[in-house]
């Protein structure tokens, strides 16, 4: 992992301790200043870079440009973005710019490890608090009976699991979010697939986008 965190220097020590505490992860370097990021990326063999989303400047939020810079130098590297103070737009900006994962400032140690494992596997990771916000927006606020297809047959919990499964979370990660067993989550997913008539996550993701449960801008 390569640490490129400038606005919150105390996070560097925290991330290093968490990463080096995992047997299959280690920090290969830190970038001390933003202007040194391109050269550090070229020289590093890291497969994941952890970088903060940059705050507003005179032209607005620079999150998009910051992540694009990393992508331009190392298109192969996985990017885990950390929230700063840009606000709610930051999540969608970061992922549209090319980030593979997004962590809020409330992330726990387990969230950080789960995020790093997910992006390392080529998956997209969404911080649990963001998932909760999406659930509240697209599931809990939906008028009762407004959906005319099989979605209306899902329970509230099944709708929540559908949302997390659609954006790429594993059964283990979903189980942690809702404090359930992995077997229970497996059962929920099986019920969802049976009720909706799907066979894999790609079909589930397309359906979730089509139904407005999630937005393409959030991916």
**Does residue 76 or residue 142 have the better pLDDT?**
76
Separation CA 193–CA 199 (nearest Å): 6
Does 139 have pLDDT greater than 60? no
Position 63 scores a pLDDT of 54
- Pick the closest to residue 27 from 9, 42, 46 (CA basis): 46
Angle at 13 between CA 92 and CA 37, to 5 degrees: 55
Average pLDDT, the chain: 78
Q: Tens digit of pLDDT for each residue in 81-92?
A: 887 655 445 676
User: Please, are residues 67 and 48 in contact by the beta-carbon 8 Å criterion?
Assistant: no
Does 30 have pLDDT greater than 80? yes
Does 101 have pLDDT greater than 70? yes
Quote the pTM value: 0.59
Q: Which domains does the chain have, with CATH numbers?
A: 2-126 (3.40.50.2300), 130-218 (1.10.10.10)
**Does residue 11 or residue 81 have the better pLDDT?**
81
Q: What is the mean pLDDT of the segment spanning 106-110? A: 84
- First-to-last alpha carbon distance for the chain, in angstroms, is 23
Place of tokens 């942690």: 176
What one-character-per-residue DSSP string does the chain give? -EEE--S-HHHHHHHHHHHHTSTT----EE--SGGGHHHHHHH---SEEEEEPP-EETTEE-HHHHHHHHHHH-TTSEEEEE--SS-THHHHHHHHHT-SEEE-TT--HHHHHHHHHHHHTT--EE-HHHHHHHHIIIIITSPTT---SGGGGS-HHHHHHHHHHHTT--HHHHHHHHT--HHHHHHHHHHHHHHHT--SHHHHHHHHHHTTSS-GGG-
Q: What is the mean pLDDT of the segment spanning 110-125? A: 89
Does 163 have pLDDT greater than 50? yes
Position 137 scores a pLDDT of 53
Does 133 have pLDDT greater than 70? no
What one-character-per-residue DSSP string does 3-17 give? EE--S-HHHHHHHHH
How distant, in Å, are the alpha carbons of 55, 104, 181 from that of 73?
21, 25, 41
Q: What is the mean pLDDT of the segment spanning 133-139? A: 57
Instruction: Report residue 44: phi and psi, to 5°.
Output: -80, 145
Confidence of residue 196 (pLDDT cuts 50, 70, 90): confident
Sign of the alpha-carbon torsion through 197, 203, 208, 209: negative
**Does residue 86 or residue 171 have the better pLDDT?**
171
Does 128 have pLDDT greater than 80? no
**Does residue 145 or residue 109 have the better pLDDT?**
109
């Amino acid at each position: 992992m390569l640490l490129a965190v400038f606005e919150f220097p105390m996070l560097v020590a925290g991330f290093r301790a968490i990463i080096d505490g995992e047997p299959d992860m280690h920090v290969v370097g830190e970038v001390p200043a933003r202007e040194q990021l391109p050269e550090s990326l070229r020289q590093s063999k890291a497969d994941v870079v952890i970088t903060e989303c940059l705050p507003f400047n005179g032209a607005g939020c620079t999150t998009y440009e910051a992540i694009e810079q990393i992508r331009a130098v190392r298109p192969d590297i996985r990017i885990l973005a950390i929230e700063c103070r840009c606000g709610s737009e930051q999540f969608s900006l970061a992922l549209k710019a090319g980030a593979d994962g997004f962590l809020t400032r409330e992330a726990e140690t387990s969230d950080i490890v789960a995020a790093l494992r997910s992006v390392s596997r080529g998956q997209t990771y969404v911080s649990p608090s963001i998932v909760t916000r999406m659930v509240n927006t697209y599931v809990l606020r939906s008028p009762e009976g407004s959906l005319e297809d099989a979605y209306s047959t899902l329970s509230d919990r099944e709708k929540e699991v559908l949302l997390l499964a659609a954006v790429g979370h594993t059964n283990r990660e979903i189980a942690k979010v809702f404090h359930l067993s992995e077997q229970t989550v497996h059962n929920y997913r099986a019920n969802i697939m049976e009720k909706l008539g799907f066979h894999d996550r790609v079909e589930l993701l397309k359906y979730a986008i089509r139904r407005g449960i999630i937005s393409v801008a959030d991916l």
